[in-house]
């Protein structure tokens, strides 16, 4: 007669078939109990895992939100501790899932979202679930690239620090899991958009963008993943001394595309407003008198502000009848002067003025008056002589 199987035999047989979790594995389990700093997890009904201390803290706040019966993922740290529990980690599990996300994104070229939490002079640093990432300055998109005068390191750092806490769409261009590091590129993430925008861009088109940099020689404007330069000569029709007087970082502006040379895009702000020099021929006639304030001095002459857009030039040879080599010998910035218009060249954006012409006229009038007096006196003397005879 056959011996009846003991109930425990089936359980023992089942346990023999089950492979207990090994360190380094990512496993699924069911929450049994949640304590203030500890979670007990049922693993396939045959063993229990424990998650405690720093290993219970992850970026997803699993400990805070977990409820008995919830399925959670955990990383195996030890096969068994002194209390007989499998030692698990939520922190490492989240890190492994994050690594998988980054590895997949690296393989497929997918764009991922990250936040910078620190900046240095070379770029932006971030850390996601213990994985360190770096976005070099050269890999920032145009809107975030720190355009500063003379590549001043302190100004670059100040600009980068303003980006801390912002979310960036990036592509992974280098990955090193062994050392837990990533090199990321915001520029690469926008490459497809940039390529398409550049292909569709034509000279003469008007675009809207944001000021992405202000330097001594002009204003950079970012639009549709691209960036162009409004050279200082294209900011306004009048003389521009400081480009920063015409906007600040982040300002929305409208510009016209005036040149495309490979990736180099030239823009203009002034061409979207009427050229005031075309009106100059109507308002300023040769021989007319004008009055204005000296607002700029050069070795070859003094510029006089005639209106908000137009300056007239008094050449050094037209300042005084006396020979001078420097306009500063006679004039200074802020002087209000009267002058005569002696040339109007709208195509060259030039109005020529002369102070000397006014003084010459006064001398001419004075000389005429003196000649008239002399002639009258001579006439009177002649009459007296005739009377005496």
Question: What percentage of the chain has pLDDT greater than the value 90?
Answer: 55
Return the pLDDT at 328.
Answer: 92
| pLDDT at 366 > cutoff 70 | no
Domain covering 200-272: architecture: Beta Barrel (2.40)
Supply angle C-alpha 287, 290, 292, rounded to 5: 150
| pLDDT at 6 > cutoff 60 | no
Return the pLDDT at 4.
Answer: 55
What separation in angstroms does the CA of 178 have from each of 99, 120, 129, 373?
11, 24, 15, 106
Locate all alpha helices (DSSP H) within the chain, ordered by sequence: 7-17, 62-65, 90-108, 153-161, 186-189, 191-200, 276-283, 356-388
Report the range of poorest mean pLDDT among 273-282, 285-294, 380-389.
Answer: 380-389
Categorize the per-residue pLDDT at 241 as very low, low, confident or very high, splitting at 50, 70 and 90: confident
Q: For domain 109-189, say whether CATH 3.40.1280.10 is its number.
A: no
Return the pLDDT at 51.
Answer: 93
Where are the domains positioned within the chain? 18-95, 109-189, 200-272, 278-359
| pLDDT at 182 > cutoff 60 | yes
> Stretch 321-338: mean pLDDT, rounded?
92
Burial of 216 (0-12, 13-18, 19+ CB in 10 A): exposed
> Stretch 198-207: mean pLDDT, rounded?
93
User: Bigger pLDDT: 364 or 8?
Assistant: 8
> Stretch 213-233: mean pLDDT, rounded?
93
Return the pLDDT at 103.
Answer: 94
Categorize the per-residue pLDDT at 276 as very low, low, confident or very high, splitting at 50, 70 and 90: confident
Categorize the per-residue pLDDT at 1 as very low, low, confident or very high, splitting at 50, 70 and 90: very low
Between CA 25 and CA 49 the distance in angstroms is: 13
Between CA 204 and CA 251 the distance in angstroms is: 22
Do 278-359 and 109-189 have the same topology in CATH?
yes
Q: What is the CATH number of domain 18-95?
A: 2.40.50.140
Between CA 52 and CA 87 the distance in angstroms is: 9
Domain covering 278-359: architecture: Beta Barrel (2.40)
Encode pLDDT of 18-72 as tens digits: 677 888 888 899 999 998 889 999 998 889 999 999 898 888 888 888 899 999 9
Return the pLDDT at 10.
Answer: 58
Return the pLDDT at 163.
Answer: 95
User: Which of 304, 292, 228 is CA-nearest to residue 259?
Assistant: 228
The DSSP call for residue 147 is B
Question: What percentage of the chain has pLDDT greater than the value 70?
Answer: 88
| pLDDT at 356 > cutoff 60 | yes
| pLDDT at 261 > cutoff 60 | yes
């Amino acid at each position: 007669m056959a011996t009846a199987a003991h109930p425990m035999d089936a359980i023992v047989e089942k346990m023999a078939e089950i492979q207990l979790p090994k360190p380094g594995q990512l496993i699924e389990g069911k929450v049994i109990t949640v304590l203030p700093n500890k979670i007990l997890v049922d693993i396939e009904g045959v063993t229990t895992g424990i998650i405690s201390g720093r290993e219970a803290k992850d970026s997803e706040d699993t400990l805070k939100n977990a409820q008995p019966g919830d399925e959670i993922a955990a990383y195996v740290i030890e096969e068994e501790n002194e209390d007989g529990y499998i030692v698990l980690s939520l922190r490492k599990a989240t890190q492994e899932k994050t690594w998988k996300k980054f590895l997949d994104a690296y393989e497929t070229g997918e764009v991922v979202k990250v936040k910078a939490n620190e900046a240095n002079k070379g770029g932006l640093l971030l850390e996601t679930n213990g994985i360190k990432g770096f976005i070099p300055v050269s890999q920032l998109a145009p809107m975030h690239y720190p355009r500063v005068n003379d590549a001043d390191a302190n100004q670059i750092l100040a600009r980068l620090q303003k980006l801390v806490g912002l979310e960036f769409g990036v592509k992974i261009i280098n990955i090193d899991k062994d050392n837990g590091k990533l090199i990321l590129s915001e520029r690469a993430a926008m490459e497809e958009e940039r390529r398409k925008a550049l292909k569709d861009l034509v000279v003469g088109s008007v675009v809207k963008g944001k000021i992405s940099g202000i330097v001594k020689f002009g204003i950079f404007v970012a639009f549709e993943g691209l960036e162009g330069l409004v050279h200082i000569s294209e900011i306004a029709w009048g003389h521009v001394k400081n480009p920063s007087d015409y906007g600040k970082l982040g300002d929305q502006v409208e510009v016209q595309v005036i040149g495309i040379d490979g990736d180099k895009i030239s823009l203009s702000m002034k061409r979207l407003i009427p050229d005031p020099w075309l009106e100059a021929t109507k308002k300023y006639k040769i021989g007319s008198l004008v009055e204005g304030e000296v607002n700029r001095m050069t070795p070859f002459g003094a510029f006089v502000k005639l209106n908000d857009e137009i300056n007239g030039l008094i050449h050094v040879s037209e300042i005084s009848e006396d020979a001078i080599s420097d306009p500063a010998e006679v004039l200074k910035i802020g002087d209000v002067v009267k002058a005569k218009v002696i040339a109007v060249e709208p195509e060259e954006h030039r109005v020529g003025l002369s102070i000397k012409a006014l003084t010459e006229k006064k001398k001419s009038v004075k000389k005429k008056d003196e000649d008239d007096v002399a002639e009258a006196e001579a006439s009177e003397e002649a009459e007296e002589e005739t009377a005496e005879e």
